[in-house]
Structure 1
Amino acid sequence: MPSTYNGVENNTHPSWWKDPGLRWNVLWVMTTAMGQVVGGYDGSLMNALQAVPKLFEAFPRLEDSNILGVTSALLFLPGLVVPFLAAWLADTVGRKIPILVGMSGVVAGGIIQATAQNLGQFMAGRFVMGTFSCIGAVGGLSLCAELSHPRFRSQATSMQISVYYVGSILSSWVTYGCLQHLPDSHWSWRAPVLIQCAFPAIMLGFLIFIPESPRWLIAKGRTEEARKIFAKQHANGDENDPLVNLEVEEVHIALDAERSNKTGWSALWATKGNRKRMFIVITTAAGAQLNGVGIISYYFVPVLKSVGITSYLSQSLISGGMSISNLFFAVAAALLVERLGRRTLWLASTGMMLITLVIVTVLSAEFQKGESPAIGGATIAFLYLFYAGYDLAWSPLNSAYTVEILPYTIRAKGLAVWNSVTYVTLCINTWVNPVALSAIGYYYYIVYIGILTYLCLIIYFVYPETRGRTLEEVAEVFDKDSPLTSHHHEDIEGLGNKGGDVEMYEGKEN
């Protein structure tokens, strides 16, 4: 039975799992999301390995908090410049090739680390892995947004960062298993490092067959190829499907708008609307790392030691349990994005983090006075709640909101800035946090209490609600006085007479 999408007839079943074309579309969206699983494993691995004694036996210099910080930061240091190269690649050769190159490099980086005979080789492997993961990230996020059926595009982009925790869970529990069964072998750290190569290798097998972005193809004048991909992915091969016609026409309108305006890097700040967009993009990217979550993500073991959890196995169990908790809350929030709205999730998330971090700071101070096991246990409980707060918005909306507010004309470039700022702040986290925690302990939490307070205010006064809007209507939130936006909206309304809007699923099905 054909369905409709916002009044536009579409040759798909109302239930995607009963529709062969949509099942393929979901598979390809999940393939792009696997890049975040890879990132979750790689990004959480150093945190998990800090509970493995044999790692420090192999590389004694890691006992120095400065060396540990530099080693951790090397995964993110390439993100200072590589995303801009990735954006150029994504716009020049397509979204698919950068992902293939990126995942191939991640496999190479993992092998270099797993076979390391000295700390220098281990650090080089992390740098190689960080470089190529950056290349794949921009293409992956863009391809997910541009290939997924509009019916579930918002959920698909929200799930991108949420599944990061799948990799984090695997990293924690693989390390725990190796530590428990190989405690006296150097394979207790080499095996978890080597296993991180498996996931990008699996992803490469699927990426060979994934379709290119139809929007990129149209931008390169290959409209008929794009139409075939839209038809196969969104209408079971019907090239005359009304939704397919509408999507092709919409992309042409967006490209016409692009040609009449600045399309270089200066377009990011050329208008008042774009300057507001970039302020939000930069704030979101930096806030996701500088809101205190970096202490738990990358240096949870020192935090656990500070509240009396010194057993290596206990540290691994608590870390693994937190990863499972994070996945549950992040996926739940991603599925509720349309129902609750963006601003509600942003404010609830950041407010919950602020309140729980204040409590954690007080409890940590009390623990230092008497080292009470009860206070230590309560601190761990509130750390779980702190991260649950992060999962409500900073996980699902970090990339999804960024993709949503960036129009097609500056999407790849805006995502490059988002990635670069993310990696800059990750470097700050991984480099500064161990030194600060070692020097001043829980007093360091006060810095993040201040940052969270600032973020609450910025979100309340600056972040607009985008729920229930098409991408064109989201653009109007930022460009209310733009003649281009008005002209573009008139064009979309004209198309709407043929069937309706196309960019946001409203659940209107036959």
Structure 2
Amino acid sequence: MLDNAGITNTTTQLQINVILNAFCLVCSLVGTYFIDRLGRKPTAMISITSLTIFLFMVGALTKSYGTNSTNTSGIYATVAMIFLFQGSYSFGWTPLLYVYPPEVLNYSIRANGMGVMQLALNGTALMAVFAFPFALVAIGWKTYLINAAWDALEVPFVWWYWVETAGKTLEEIDELLDGVKHSTAPDVEKVIRGEVGRDELSLEKADEEQDLKE
């Protein structure tokens, strides 16, 4: 990406990559803080929308100020868009990939589901690591536009299909997805609002323990 942006000095590339990784770490920590406050779905929407915009801009700037360009401002703008793209991804997807899947998978398939998710995730990443360098050599800046167009398709998918799980217990999420709550545990919102007293909590816990014994 830096070669295409017009930065070919290896020392400069190393410095940028070190700073970029530190920047992504900060963005992922900020995203981890906000996924409970903004919610899973809004965080994903913000992340996908912003990274799609920035990736389109990386492609456009690479086309205009890429390899062999002498426009320093254009090169700096391209690097800035790379930082914003990576930061947008880290803000949403870095925490969500390890928070959201376990929440929407019910207990009986959670372990297997996470295994399949990790296999698909790492398999796709492995393919991208080997395929993208060839794509960048063959079609250059168009690679970014193809990738960004795919990302744009994810926006309506998340908006339509994702279920908000922030602030809910696994039992409440199970009820959202299955329509049945397989537990006597009280709703988190009711506990926070004080609608469920300690006596009721103790009674429900006792009922649940009795069900487990039976």
Fold-level similarity (TM above 0.5) = yes
Distance 1:436 1:478, change over 3 A: same
Kept after mapping to 2: 8 A contact 1:308/1:373: no
* Aligned AA (2:130): W
What amino acid sits opposite 1:340 in the alignment? L
Which sections of structure 1, spanning at least 5 residues, go unmatched? 1-302, 502-510
The alignment's C-alpha RMSD in Å is: 2.1
Any conservation in 2 of the 1:363–1:375 contact (CA below 8 Å)? yes
After superposing the two structures, state which structure 1 stretch, 364-373 or 346-355, moved more: 364-373
Q: Is this contact kept in 2: 1:343–1:459, CA < 8 A?
A: yes
Q: Residues 477 and 374 from structure 1, CA distance in 2 versus in 1: closer, same or farther, beyond 3 angstroms?
A: same
Q: Distance in 2 between matches of 1:466 and 1:362?
A: 37
1:292-303 alignment, distance < 5 Å: 303=1
Which of residues 43, 48, 65 is equivalent to 1:350? 48
Equivalent residue number for residue 449 of structure 1: 148
Count residues with an aligned counterpart: 193
Tell me: CA distance 1:360–1:334, structure 2 relative to 1, closer, same or farther (3 Å): same
1:387-413 per-position Cα deviation (integer Å, ceiling 9, x unaligned): 111012100111110111112211110
Deviations 1:170-199 (A, max 9, x none): xxxxxxxxxxxxxxxxxxxxxxxxxxxxxx
Counterparts in 2 of 1:499 and 1:331: CA distance versus 1, 3 Å: farther
1:427 aligns with 2:126: yes
1:337 counterpart residue number: 35
* Match in the other structure for 2:2: 304
Determine helix, strand or coil for the equivalent of 2:141: helix
Q: Structure 2: how far apart are the matches of 1:492 and 1:368?
A: 58
State yes or no: 1:392 paired with 2:91: yes
SS in 1 for 2:185: helix
Q: Which amino acid aligns with 1:492?
A: A
Q: Which residue is equivalent to 1:497?
A: 201
| TM-score, length basis structure 2 | 0.84
Question: Superposition pairs for residues 59-208 of structure 1, below 5 Å?
Answer: none
The question of 1:463 aligning with 2:162 is answered yes
Displacement, 1:369? Answer: 8.4
How far the C-alpha of 1:427 sits from its partner, in A, is: 2.3
Identity within the alignment, %: 27
The code of the aligned residue for 1:424 comes to G
Change over 3 Å in CA distance of 1:461–1:309 after alignment to 2: same
The match for 1:415 is: 114
TM score, norm. by length of structure 1: 0.36
Displacement of 1:497: 2.6
2:127, 2:176 → 1: CA distance? Answer: 33
In structure 2, the CA distance between the partners of 1:435 and 1:492, relative to structure 1 (3 Å rule), is same
Please state if 1:367 is matched with 2:60: no
